[in-house]
Structure 1
Amino acid sequence: QVKTRTNRHGGILGGITSGMPIVFRAAVKPTSSIAQRQESVSLAEKTGVPLEIHGRHDPCITTRAVPVVEAAMAIALLDAYFCASTNTTKDSPWL
């Protein structure tokens, strides 16, 4: 099997796969706590209640981000495949 010595190119050379694993990086913005008072609804009492958060209560979204990034990558690859196979690459922002 012919393959490159390293995969520093992430598996894609000039927009075409080299046969090596596709590697990419993704960044996720941290979620934020909204300190401003908001109006919400109590489902138990079915009345309007104020909602106010004191301090920072940022959840760890790392475990949820992995499948989201994988799905986004799969959609982007499928879009690129369909655009290339139907010869409408001018309509896709990815190609």
Structure 2
Amino acid sequence: EGDTIGGIITCVIKDVPAGLGEPVFGKLHAMLGAAMLGINAVKGFEYGMGFDGVSHRGSEMIDRFVSDANGKVSTTTNNSGGIQGGISNGEDIYFRVAFKPVATLLQEVPTIDDSGNPVTLKARGRHDPCVLPRAVPVVDAMAAMTLLDAYLLNKATRL
């Protein structure tokens, strides 16, 4: 039909060490959010329970820390998406990135020219109806670069 659609990509990052990020400036989720929002066509970013979390009480959302027989620390839930207080907690980091529909439509679109006169725009050529298939490796790469940056910052401040 010459139209386009958007969608959501979910990213899960496993085996992230605890302690990446900072509590005020340099929060890990803010770094990931900035990286994802820098990708073309991205209109939204949420991590952990995100917007769904507002419909729950704090007692339902808190990620309680526990220790196993070997002293390994983990949480009983992962509502925070692996990041608490701006710092990775050792659980899987997960987030979602929302992509808008492509603006280039293969159908007539009424608009105006640079003088304000009505015109009709009709795009030509090959245009993707959805960016999601092409965006998955971009989200992966941006997440990897962001975590590597946080890891290097962590090592540099611990010297």
Q: Sequence identity of aligned pairs in percent?
A: 49
Q: Which segments of 5 or more consecutive residues in structure 2 lack a partner in the other structure?
A: 1-67, 112-121
Q: TM-score, normalised by structure 2?
A: 0.38
Q: Which segments of 5 or more consecutive residues in structure 1 lack a partner in the other structure?
A: 37-51, 88-95
Greater Cα radius of gyration, structure 1 or 2? 1
RMSD: 2.5
Q: Which has the higher contact order (CA 8 A, sep 6+)?
A: 2
Q: Stretches of 4+ moved more than 6 A in 1?
A: none
Counterparts of 1:43-62 in structure 2, within 5 Å, are 53=123, 59-62=129-132
- Rounded Cα–Cα distance in structure 1 between residues aligned with 2:97 and 2:128: 20
Match 2:93 to one of 8, 19, 22: 22
How many residues end up aligned between the 2 structures?
70
Q: TM-score, normalised by structure 1?
A: 0.59
Give the number of the structure whose residues are more often strand, by fraction: 2
The one-letter amino acid paired with 1:74 is A
**Secondary structure, counterpart of 1:25 in structure 2:** strand
What's 1:64 paired with? 134
1:84 to 1:3, Cα distance in 2 relative to 1, 3 A: closer
The one-letter amino acid paired with 1:64 is R
How far off its partner does 1:30 sit? 2.4
- Rounded Cα–Cα distance in structure 2 between residues aligned with 1:18 and 1:84: 14
1:3 to 1:83, Cα distance in 2 relative to 1, 3 A: closer
The one-letter amino acid paired with 2:81 is G
